[in-house]
Amino acid sequence: MGTSGIWSQLGSLMASVMFVYAMYEQFFPHHLRIYLKKYTKKFSSLMYPYIQITFPEFSGERLKRSEAYTAIKTYLSANSSQRAKRLKAEVVKDSQNPIVLTMDDNEEIIDEFQGVKVWWSANYKMPSSQTISWYPSSDEKRFLTLTVHKRHRDLITSSYIQHVLDEGKAITVQNRTLKLYTNNPGSDWYGYKRTKWSHVNFEHPSRFETLAMDPKKKEEIINDLVKFQTGKEYYAKVGKAWKRGYLLYGPPGTGKSSMIAAMANFMNYDVYDLELTAVKENTELKKLLIETSSKSIIVIEDIDCSLDLTGQRKKEKKKDEDEDEEKPKNPSKKSEEEEKKASKVTLSGLLNFIDGIWSACGGERVIIFTTNYVEKLDPALIRRGRMDKHIEMSYCGYEAFKVLAKNYLDVESHSLFPTIEKLLGETNMAPADVAESLMPKSIVEDSESCLKNLIESIEEAKKKAEEEAKKKAKEDEEVAVTKEEEVKANGKSAEGVKENGTIH
């Protein structure tokens, strides 16, 4: 039989099928057709050994994209799309990889989980022209379809889907651009929505590798962070909220802010810089906490200067009231406005913020306080359970200097190192001052010149510290002499009174 014969038979067959279908549509009652279609599907499902699970792009709230769809798409893009033949490029905001390749429409890829093969396909459906669409940018209804053999139903529904969702969310977090947030004044309005936090991209370059600190201490902090980040099940087991508090204390310039940035970059967490003086009251503090996301670091820098939280506020208020009683009662308009603007956040409110019931809203949060004077803080504020780990940011030691020398000069050893080690052991110098001395001031300045500059700076700091110590010792001696003279004078006065028998 020739080609023409095959085509003629195929045409006759198609015509016969169309004729039968037309007769079926015309003479079979509507309810009978529905009945027949229903059982035809049941019969085909018995013969077809695969099941299909559909994940629509929009579900529930029609204007909100499905989180499951987004997570699955991210997972497939990172793990399986390299095997797809047709890809689609998309621009993703707030991501380290702005252009993401995903499989194109009607494309299919294969994934494997515990030895079981599954098939993913990207599909779309155009609604009828009569349908009113609620979808924001297009009338197309997109969805991802998972196909798997029905004997693996339990494995796929109980383990694989959750695995895909978790992996997709983890990839999204890993690739996102970190944000630095700050709280807005409570009365501000931005557009139609009141916003508690505003943000910029967090691009601080500090890393633990570049942090000037003793390596053992640095390793201890890193291990503690890793234990916290991977401790979700442990925290649930012991009945604690998944959060951890760190107190960074030490003199100015010892790297407290750099430590916070290094923590954020290491853990891939956003940073919320909380300005307590801009918070009106305890209720607003709770609202700020609720609007922070998980996987974040909440920072209150210079906690001892932010607000008076040590019980001294009442004493100062009483003192001010006593002074006001002596002065004419004529309060100015300016003082009234200042009183309205003053924060009413209390120590109790801050303690509830740290480890109260509201602190358990959301998980995987780190709370950090910084201070230059840890002795000024209320013990209740920094006890274990609130500030779980206290980290002293001390003056620059020799090990920290070697890190700075490697960072700034790319030098790991030098003949001047022993001299610097000896001087740093005798003098208190902040890492920030050491780093400034090591930084080349011109393009022709070499590493040896920078090291000599550092030696000069340390010697000057040592000389200045000695002079201040002598000055203080002299002042203390003068005060002691004055007190001794006052005691002698008071003693002679008391003896004179006793001899005369007179009481004044």
pLDDT at residue 418 greater than cutoff 70: yes
Contact assessment for residue 298 and residue 366, using Cβ atoms and an 8 Å cutoff:
yes
Structure-model confidence comparison of residues 92 and 57, the more confident one: 57
Sign of torsion, CA 235 272 167 59?
A: positive
Q: Which of 13-22, 198-207, 486-495 has the highest mean pLDDT?
A: 198-207
The pLDDT value given to residue 169? 86
Q: Which of 66-80, 283-297, 331-345 has the highest mean pLDDT?
A: 283-297
For the chain, the maximum distance between any two Cα atoms, rounded to a whole number of angstroms, is 152
The pLDDT value given to residue 459? 93
Closest CA to 253 of 396, 131, 465: 396
pLDDT in tens, 77-117: 877 666 777 777 776 666 666 667 777 888 888 888 999 99
pLDDT at residue 353 greater than cutoff 60: yes
Structure tokens at 283: 């209720």
pLDDT at residue 313 greater than cutoff 60: no
- From residue 361, alpha-carbon distances to 288, 351, 353 in Å are 12, 15, 11
The pLDDT value given to residue 47? 67
State residue 306 phi and psi, 5-degree precision: -65, -55
Structure-model confidence comparison of residues 420 and 341, the more confident one: 420
pLDDT in tens, 155-175: 999 999 999 999 998 888 888
CATH class of 181-323+343-392: alpha beta
Neighbours of 265 (CB within 10 A): 18
Q: How far apart are CA 100 and CA 172, in angstroms?
A: 12
Structure tokens at 404: 């700075």
Q: How far apart are CA 447 and CA 441, in angstroms?
A: 11
pLDDT-above-90 percentage for the chain: 36
Q: How far apart are CA 61 and CA 72, in angstroms?
A: 19
Mean pLDDT value across the chain: 80
Q: Which of 1-5, 291-295, 365-369 has the highest mean pLDDT?
A: 365-369
pLDDT at residue 189 greater than cutoff 80: no
The pLDDT value given to residue 223? 96
Structure tokens at 290: 């609720």
CA 108 to chain centre: 36
- Start-to-end C-alpha separation, the chain: 144
* Segment among 84-98, 242-256, 431-445 with least mean pLDDT: 84-98
pLDDT band at 497 (very low <50, low <70, confident <90, very high): low
Structure tokens at 222: 């890193």
- E strand intervals along 43-177: 50-56, 87-91, 99-103, 108-113, 116-125, 141-149
* Segment among 11-25, 432-446, 471-485 with least mean pLDDT: 11-25
Structure-model confidence comparison of residues 284 and 261, the more confident one: 261
pLDDT at residue 154 greater than cutoff 60: yes
pLDDT in tens, 191-239: 444 578 999 999 899 999 999 998 999 999 999 999 999 998 999 899 8
Structure-model confidence comparison of residues 59 and 447, the more confident one: 447
The pLDDT value given to residue 94? 63
Q: How far apart are CA 372 and CA 52, in angstroms?
A: 61
Alpha carbons within 13 A on the beta-carbon side of 200: 5
- From residue 182, alpha-carbon distances to 124, 274, 289, 361 in Å are 41, 6, 12, 20
Q: How far apart are CA 367 and CA 386, in angstroms?
A: 9
pLDDT in tens, 440-481: 888 888 999 999 999 999 999 999 988 888 888 888 888 887
The pLDDT value given to residue 342? 65
The pLDDT value given to residue 326? 52
Contact assessment for residue 156 and residue 116, using Cβ atoms and an 8 Å cutoff:
yes
Q: How far apart are CA 447 and CA 411, in angstroms?
A: 8
Cα radius of gyration rounded to whole Å, the chain? 36
The pLDDT value given to residue 330? 53
The residue type of 436 is E
State residue 410 phi and psi, 5-degree precision: 55, 40
**Residue 271 DSSP symbol:** E
Whether the model clears a pTM of 0.85, i.e. scores above it, the answer is no
pLDDT-above-70 percentage for the chain: 76
Q: Which of 41-50, 304-313, 394-403, 487-496 has the highest mean pLDDT?
A: 394-403
